[in-house]
Every structure is written in C-alpha cells, then in structure tokens.
Chain A
Amino acid sequence: MSGVRRVEGRAIPLGLANVDTDIIIPAAHLKTVSREGLGAHGFEVLRAEPGNVFDDPRYRGAPILIAGDNFGCGSSREHAAWALLDMGIRAVVATGFSDIFSSNAFKNLLVAVTLDRQAVDRLLEIAEEHPISVDLESMEVTAPTGERFAFALDPFRRQCLIEGLDEIGLTLAREAAIAAYEAKAPMLGWDMPGPSADRRLGLRFGQGAMDARMGRQ
C-alpha cells in the first residue's frame, strides 16, 4: 500500500456525536466477502433524510468527514472503514473515536484525527465555505482562512500511515522472537483438545447433529 501524507479537499460537516457503526454501514450489508462496493450503502439511513449533508452538491466527492464525539462506536466491523474509503473519504476529523474504529481506520490508511471541541466546531463552520487540509507531516489541519489546528498522532501510527507499511510483513519478520515466546508461554504448556459436546448431556462431538437440529420451531 502506498502511504498518505496529506488529505485535501472539501469536508462533509456532519458534526454528529456517537455515530455508530450501524449508522456508517448497516449489518444487512456485511454479507459480503469483499472489501469493495460498500460505499453505496454508507450512511444510508442519514442519506434517506431530505437535505442531508452527504447529498449536498457542495460536498460531492469530499475526501474529509467532520464528526463529533465517539465516532465509530459499536461493532468491530472493519466494513465501516471500508465503506468510508469506498465513498472517497480519506480522513475523518472528530472530537473522539472508538478504540476499535480508530485501529481499523489506521490499518486501512484512513486518517483519523482528534481535535478539541472548539477546533471541530470552527472547522464545521469553515467546511461550509472552504476546502481544508489534513497534513500528517506538519500534524496540522489547515484552512484557507489561515487558521491552523495542531493534532497529536502516535509516532508509530504516523510512520505507518506515511510509509504505508505492511504490518503483517513486519511482524512475520519477528518470527524468531515469536517462537521464543511460545517456548515459554504461560498459557501454551499443553495440547488443547478439540471442541466436543458436553459429556453431561451424553453427546459425542458432531453426533446429535441430526436429532438436535430437528427440534420444534
């Protein structure tokens, strides 16, 4: 994956707090085996409302979304990050993110920037008139008005975002350390048996399949 240094353009001033993952992408659309095509269903409940920001021509193709507290709360579905990317959104600016969402965003090089309430409120106003820029090198959100809003970012995450690092590849290179850990791991000292039926119910694993599954409706 190639990295991301800056995201520039119009920003959708959503501003809502507690935007949960079911709002970003409802569960009905998780029945996919692909990462593509989820954008068509992104925020579909909000987009059904007349006059919603997503369908405002000013923000067509906008690569930035501005939201309130606790963005991405709820489920662990990475489909939320995939849906945003598929909509063309490359950065989200908010007053707060759920832990799992911010991790999922990062793994997909979707930039998640936390700013304080005052800065986000001001950006919501600016976004109605102007494009903004989220810059990972200077760690600032800037506006043509000359205003600048500095943000903090974990140095490791920032490096991964800028360089587009393959985290799995990096970890696979640590094989010797992982094997050494396994040799002394407190929880790995025995061979785990396979799953099986509870003996108190008098079942063997897999047996019972036919009769247990033919229960009354």
Chain B
Amino acid sequence: MTNSAPKTLYEKIWDAHVVERSDDGTCLIYIDRHLVHEVTSPQAFDGLRAKARRVRRPDLTLAVPDHNVPTTRRVTDNGRREPVSDPRSAEQLAALEGNVREFGIPYIPDVAAEQGIVHVVGPEQGFTLPGSTLVCGDSHTAAHGALGALAFGIGTSEVEHVLATQTLLLKASRTMEVRVEGRLPFGVSAKDLILTIIGRIGTAGGTGHVIEYRGSTFRDMSIESRLTVANMSIEAGARSGLFAPDETTFDYLKGRPMAPSGEDWRRMLAYWRTLHSDDGAAFDRSVSFDAADVAPSVTWGTSPEDVVPVTGRVPDPEAFADPAKRSAARKSLEYMGLEAGTLMADVTVEHVFIGSCTNSRIEDLRAAAAVVGSRKVDPRIKQALVVPGSGLVKRQAEKEGLDRIFLEAGFQWREPGCSMCLAMNPDKVPPGERCASTSNRNFVGRQGPGARTHLVSPAMAAAAAVTGRLTDVRDLVARDLVMP
C-alpha cells in the first residue's frame, strides 16, 4: 500500500505504532498506555522478578484495584481502612500494592476518591487518548476505543511483555465496519443498540476483526454512550472497537487530569483531527443497521447473542436451524429456568444490578434515576444495587441528588468496583435466582454459581426494579421524557 492510498482509522493508528515489521507480517507494536488491575497482573510481576526484569515505562502505566474490592464502605468511622473479609481477595489486593511500590507504578488505591473500574477511570482521568494504543489484562479494554484509542484486552503473559518492553508482537487484524444511521427511538439506549448488533452478528461475528462504528447514530452519541458500545465489541468477538475522534471527544477530554494541556494539547489536537477513515478506505467486512429498528432489548439465554426485544418471547430451541445452536438453546433455557414462548415481560426478577464497565457512568445513573423518579423498588426484589463506576462518578451523582432518588426508592448505593458483574467480590446473585443486570455477560455462573442473568440497559434495569419483572421502559415513562 502506498502512502496516498486511503486508510481506515485502524490502519492509521496501527501504522503509527509499528516499531518493526517482520517479513511474515508480525509487527512489534508500541503500547502508549497500560492499565493494570489486581486479578491479571500478579503472575506477570512474578515473571519479571524471576528474570530480574524491570518495568520499562512505569510512567505510561496506571494501576487501579477494581475486580475484588468490596463495594461496602472502605474506611471506618475513626479513619481506618476496613479489612477485606475474603482472605484471597485481600491477598490479591495486597499483591498489587506491593508490586506497584516495588516497580514504581502510578497507583490509585481503593480508598482514593479517584478509584473505580479501570475502564471508567482511564477516560475520566484523560489517561485514554485518541490515537493511542492502550492495553489492559481485561477483555473490556475495548471500551477505550470510544475515544479513538486502539484498545484491546490482553492475557497475563502479554501484560508481562508490555511491562518489560512497552510493546507487543502482533499481526494486524481485519477491519469491519458497523454502520448505523438515524436516531435511536424513544426509550432505546446505546446498550440496546449494541445488544441488537451482537444479536445479529453473533458472539463470533467480529472474531479476527477490529470494528469501526460509523454513521450518524454513533456520531450523535455522547462519550458515555460510545463507551457502552465500544465496551461490548468483545461480546461480538472483536478485540477492539473504534470511534473516530471528533469534537465530542475533544470536548470530553479537554482539561482532564492526565490529558495534555497548553501547547501540547494544541499540537495533539491537530494530529487527532487526522485520525478518521479516509474516503474510499476499504473494510474487509461491512454490516449496517437502521437505528429506527432497534427496541429496548433483553437477553434470554446464556450468551450475549441471545437477544430479543423486550416485547418478544423466549424463543423455541427447536426453531433454530443449526443443530449446535438448537442444543445450546435447550441447555440455556434449562439453566435459565425459562419456557419457550414465555413473554419476556412476564419474567420476574429478584435482583437488579446497575453498574459494571458497560453502564456505570454518570449518564447511565441519570437514565436509571429518571425512570425511578419517585417510584419504589418492588417488594419482591431482594437486592437492588447501584454501583457507580468510580468515586468521581459517585461524587457527581451525589452532587446531582441521584443517590437520594435511589436510596429513597430502596436501592443500595455502593462504593465503586466491578461488583456483581462477575461476582469476584461479595456481591453475588444466589443460585437459581434471576437478575436484571446492566453488565455485559450472561454466561453460566457469571454473577455467582447458578445465577441467571438478563442483560439490559440502565433504564430497563430501573424499570425492572420498580415492577419486579422485565419491563418495557417505554410503557413506564412518559413519552416526553428525554432518554439518553
């Protein structure tokens, strides 16, 4: 390819990060930003120690504990740190603190107001920047693509590789355009859109590809909504999802603590404005959707591709043509305790979780609070949790009075962390019980052994909380309410 050939956004960022290229196409790719958390890093630091290797660029690294941290209060009335009750979680959290001290890595401790889920903290701090390569030992790193960063999840061996060398050995991915045009209808959010996309292309639909989200629907989205979409690229099989940076991105980033400022900002802005797919750039694959066709959506099974509109019914496994899909659906329904043909809106839930790196930002909490209003959590709900994505999101929500709306309705208002998304901390859904959850995976046992998960948007989760069943949020709220 010559320099004048039109390039996709992905190709531009990739080309700008090639340190060396081998004949077989394997490239040594420079990594600009590395987020580290407590679960996927201890073995990587051990590997460094075993070979007496150092961290090459601690200044480009940021560590935050999030997966294990309890969401109950962390500081006692007399100012001491609350002990973490699970000794294995405590050990992993202590290992991270020891490692960041030993290797000199910038660290946000669990008791700092800035702590939160790595994928909420990165954009919020301006650590995530357009045109950067950003990695983390967590598959939802794809989220940072919302700001035009080439961001992807890596395993622990790769975490060690990045710590030691600030690079990764990679082959370029294929490119996939997901184009959506038009306005999302009333009551439909970014979460419903990405669930619908995953439902159509499947959880392996984007395997081997980097998705670029294009079209007016995505252009009109806030950064929070873009983060929700890019976050779930991995549920569509794509390691990364990209949005071209635009004025919305630059407005969001300007003045963030770790973003460039002054002359640096002006220089980077000029560069960032070149980061978009050129006219005529070719994608290996393209799919397109009409925003008007998207409805508030829910999952019925144990794969994020098992999506139906909330007005739909639990599908009949025998109706699937593919025998593998048929048997998977039978197993899913058995696990989920659902009968084929049941109206989704007749499914009752015992738990509601509003949180996770997919949906725990201020816009998500506002959307949920707007649905709750002066309503109360249905008495049949055993547990309704709101877990802000970071301490700063929590602060902002409290400033706006959202915490009072949730608390008065009967929700619990918690400290930030991954929480009930993957149940590594004490927040779990008990066996056989059902949860309307704003998280990203409805896998078997994801929210606790035997837990049954229905993935929904924040507004839909709030609707489920106040009715005690999966509910079409459009039926619940007035048509004049502006939905994000």
Contact = CB atoms under 8 A, between A and B. Distances in A.
B153 to A, nearest CB: 4
Given A103-B155, A209-B75, A213-B73, A98 B207 contact: yes
Given A99-B239, A104-B157, A177 B19 contact: yes
A14 interface: no
Interface stretch (B125-133, B289-297, B337-345): B125-133
Interface stretch (B22-30, B216-224, B242-250): B22-30
Interface stretch (A3-11, A57-65, A196-204): A196-204
Interface string B84-112: 00101101100100000000001011011
A195 B106 contact: yes
Interface in B62-95: 62, 67-68, 72-75, 77, 79, 86, 88-89, 91-92, 95
B40 A76 contact: yes
Contact of B43 (A34, A100, A168, A197): A34
Contacts of B89: 31
Interface residues of B, number: 111
A26 B445 contact: yes
Q: How large is the interface on A (under 10, 10 to 19, 20 to 34, 35 or more residues)?
A: 35 or more
A154 B155 contact: no
Contact of A215 (B173, B203, B268, B415): B415
B204 interface: yes
Contacts, number: 266
A66 to B, nearest CB: 13
Given A17-B328, A197-B114, A22 B445 contact: yes
Interface stretch (A83-91, A126-134, A142-150, A179-187): A179-187
Interface string A8-26: 0000000011101011001
Given A45-B444, A216-B403, A178 B113 contact: no
Interface string B239-264: 10000000000000001111010001
7 contacts: A33-B43, A107-B157, A155-B24, A188-B32, A192-B60, A196-B258, A201-B399
Interface of A: 16-18, 20, 22-23, 26-28, 30-35, 45, 68-70, 73-78, 81, 96, 98-100, 103-104, 107-108, 154-156, 167-168, 171-172, 174, 177-178, 181-182, 185-199, 201, 203, 205-210, 212-217
